[in-house]
Chains A and B, each alone.
Chain A
Amino acid sequence: GAVVSQHPSWVICKSGTSVKIECRSLDFQATTMFWYRQFPKQSLMLMATSNEGSKATYEQGVEKDKFLINHASLTLSTLTVTSAHPEDSSFYICSARDGGGIYNEQFFGPGTRLTVL
């Protein structure tokens, strides 16, 4: 199957700093990318959906100015957590879909563990 990578795998930052997480589809073109947040022992909560070249669509309750999403190419999406605070500490997972292409299914990255001190 297709591979989705995330970078970094984990990051520790001070409160008030911004952190950027990259998500790449390695061997397919991702027409749509999704960002999820996973709390310990809980399900994945969809934060936003982005289509290449368009603005992201955020789920209710997710602050778009806090979690900036850019999907500038068919293989790269970035999530920037701006002015991070301890409550933003979580496991962030991206997913990519080739939407009607070879796979037409959703592939998940390994996740990024964010810890805000």
Chain B
Amino acid sequence: GDSVTQMEGPVTLSEEAFLTINCTYTATGYPSLFWYVQYPGEGLQLLLKATKADDKGSNKGFEATYRKETTSFHLEKGSVQVSDSAVYFCAHWFEGRAGGTSYGKLTFGQGTILTVHP
């Protein structure tokens, strides 16, 4: 079935370090891919997205490229800040039909806790 696998955490970095959080997926077809961020005590927020192969999503210094050949969507940031400390979720959205019914579903990875120290 469809699934999303993220790099195990937690990840602890010093401020200004380079960040990579790996994400790979399995899906039938070509899903849209997302990274969500959950700050302490808050709901999930969309960080960035990519809807087709080779698309690069970017926001707040974070980037991720939709790699169809490796079924990956790794999140990167060149220089993290303390304020980036949060839980990051990779996800894919897939729309399909089953039994005459159309459906859409967002499937999440397990989440990666990022802590950035000053």
Q: Which residues of A contact B (CB under 8 A)?
A: 1, 4, 32, 34, 41-44, 46, 49, 57, 93, 95, 97, 99, 105-111
* B62 interfacial by beta-carbon distance below 8 Å: no
Q: Are B110 and A43 in contact (CB-based, < 8 A)?
A: yes
Q: Mark B80-96, 1 if CB is under 8 A from A, else 0.
A: 00000000010001000
Q: Are A43 and B105 in contact (CB-based, < 8 A)?
A: no
| Closest 6 A/B residue pairs (Cβ) | A110-B43, A108-B44, A43-B110, A108-B43, A43-B108, A44-B108
Q: Are A57 and B106 in contact (CB-based, < 8 A)?
A: no
Q: Are A109 and B106 in contact (CB-based, < 8 A)?
A: no
Q: How large is the interface on B (under 10, 10 to 19, 20 to 34, 35 or more residues)?
A: 20 to 34
Q: 6 pairs across A/B with beta carbons < 8 Å?
A: A43-B108, A43-B109, A43-B111, A44-B89, A46-B107, A108-B44
Q: Are B105 and A4 in contact (CB-based, < 8 A)?
A: no
Shortest distance from the beta carbon of A3 to any chain B beta carbon, whole Å: 10
Q: Are A43 and B43 in contact (CB-based, < 8 A)?
A: no
Main secondary structure of the interface of A (DSSP, over half): strand
Q: Are A108 and B45 in contact (CB-based, < 8 A)?
A: yes
Q: Taking CB as reference atom, which chain A residue is nearest B106?
A: A106
Q: Are B110 and A4 in contact (CB-based, < 8 A)?
A: no
**Which chain A positions have C-beta within 8 A of B45?**
108
Q: Taking CB as reference atom, which chain A residue is nearest B49?
A: A105
**Which chain B positions have C-beta within 8 A of A93?**
43-44
* B69 interfacial by beta-carbon distance below 8 Å: no
**Which chain B positions have C-beta within 8 A of A108?**
36, 43-45
Q: Are B46 and A49 in contact (CB-based, < 8 A)?
A: no
Q: Mark B2-45, 1 if CB is under 8 A from A, else 0.
A: 00000000000000000000000000000000001000011111
Q: Are B103 and A111 in contact (CB-based, < 8 A)?
A: no
Q: Taking CB as reference atom, which chain B residue is nearest A44?
A: B108
B41, B93, B106, B109: residue with the most chain A Cβ atoms closer than 10 Å: B106
Q: With A41-B111, A42-B110, A43-B109 given, name 12 new contacts (CB 8 A).
A: A41-B113, A43-B110, A43-B111, A44-B44, A44-B108, A46-B106, A49-B103, A49-B105, A105-B46, A108-B36, A108-B45, A110-B42
